[in-house]
């Protein structure tokens, strides 16, 4: 057995689950995993480019909290933190949108009772209730900002269904971090 030394090849530990997911994302059965990773990372010049919708000043994408206070989820081994459940789901949507935009497209056709989990149109998140909070993600999707723990679990589970992922394994809540009490007004 011989080992070739090539300075452009690196051995990187990747879990079996992630390798299986990369294999499932191949455009053809003979597409090398390296090409899948390059396509997902956006460095393959042959890959179609994604256009991002323009945001007006009132619709600026949210900034996610990384201060250790609030909610934490893990998506395919990536940690997502936010100060609210709505922002947490928005962060998960952005992460999955980077990996496989088709998953979010499929999720956009799914509903949580009357509202959609995600939409390109703000009014479809809370139909007939423009007073309820919505959040525009960095990837241009709208999600609800009016989310409780059960709603967040339901939305993450629906995302798993749309992406053929396993809730509690591929996508899971890591923790709900105790919040720092607010100073009196």
Mean pLDDT by 10 residues, the chain (185 residues): 50 73 73 77 52 38 48 88 92 93 94 89 92 94 92 93 90 66 51
1 lies in some domain? no
Alpha-carbon span 162 to 171, nearest angstrom: 12
Is the CB of residue 72 less than 8 Å from the CB of residue 80? Answer: yes
Helix, strand or coil, per DSSP, at residue 75 = strand
pLDDT for the residue numbered 176:
64
Q: Kindly give, in sequence order, each residue whose CB lies less than 8 Å from that of residue 73, ignoring residues fewer than 6 positions away.
A: 79, 80, 88, 91, 92, 156, 171, 172, 173, 174
Tokens of 89: 């789901």
pLDDT for the residue numbered 9:
62
pLDDT for the residue numbered 20:
73
Alpha-carbon span 161 to 103, nearest angstrom: 9
Please tell me the total count of domains within the chain: 2
38 & 70 share domain:
no
* Domain boundaries, position 33: 14-49
pLDDT for the residue numbered 158:
95
159 closest CA partner among 141, 132, 134, 136: 141
Query: 0.85 exceeded by the pTM?
Result: no
167 lies in some domain? yes
7 lies in some domain? no
37 & 61 share domain:
no
pLDDT 10s digits, 14-27: 777 777 777 777 76
136 lies in some domain? yes
With tokens 């959040």, the residue in question is 135
| H or E stretch at 135 | strand 134-136
21 & 64 share domain:
no
Is the CB of residue 137 less than 8 Å from the CB of residue 90? Answer: yes
């Amino acid at each position: 057995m011989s080992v070739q030394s090539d300075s452009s090849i690196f051995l990187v530990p990747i879990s079996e689950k992630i390798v299986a997911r990369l294999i499932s994302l191949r455009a053809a059965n003979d597409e090398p995993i390296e090409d899948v990773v390059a396509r997902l990372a956006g460095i393959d010049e042959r890959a179609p480019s994604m256009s991002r919708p323009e945001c007006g000043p009132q619709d600026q994408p949210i900034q996610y909290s990384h201060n250790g206070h609030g909610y934490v989820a893990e998506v395919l081994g990536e940690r997502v933190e936010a100060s609210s459940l709505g922002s947490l789901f928005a962060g998960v949507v952005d992460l999955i949108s980077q990996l496989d935009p088709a998953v979010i497209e499929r999720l956009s056709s799914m509903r949580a009772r009357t509202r959609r989990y995600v939409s390109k149109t703000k009014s479809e998140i809370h139909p007939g209730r423009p007073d309820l909070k919505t959040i525009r993600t960095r990837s241009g999707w709208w999600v609800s900002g009016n989310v409780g723990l059960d709603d967040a679990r339901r939305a993450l589970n629906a995302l798993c269904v749309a992406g053929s992922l396993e809730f509690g394994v591929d996508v899971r809540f890591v923790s709900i971090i105790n919040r720092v009490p607010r100073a009196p007004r």
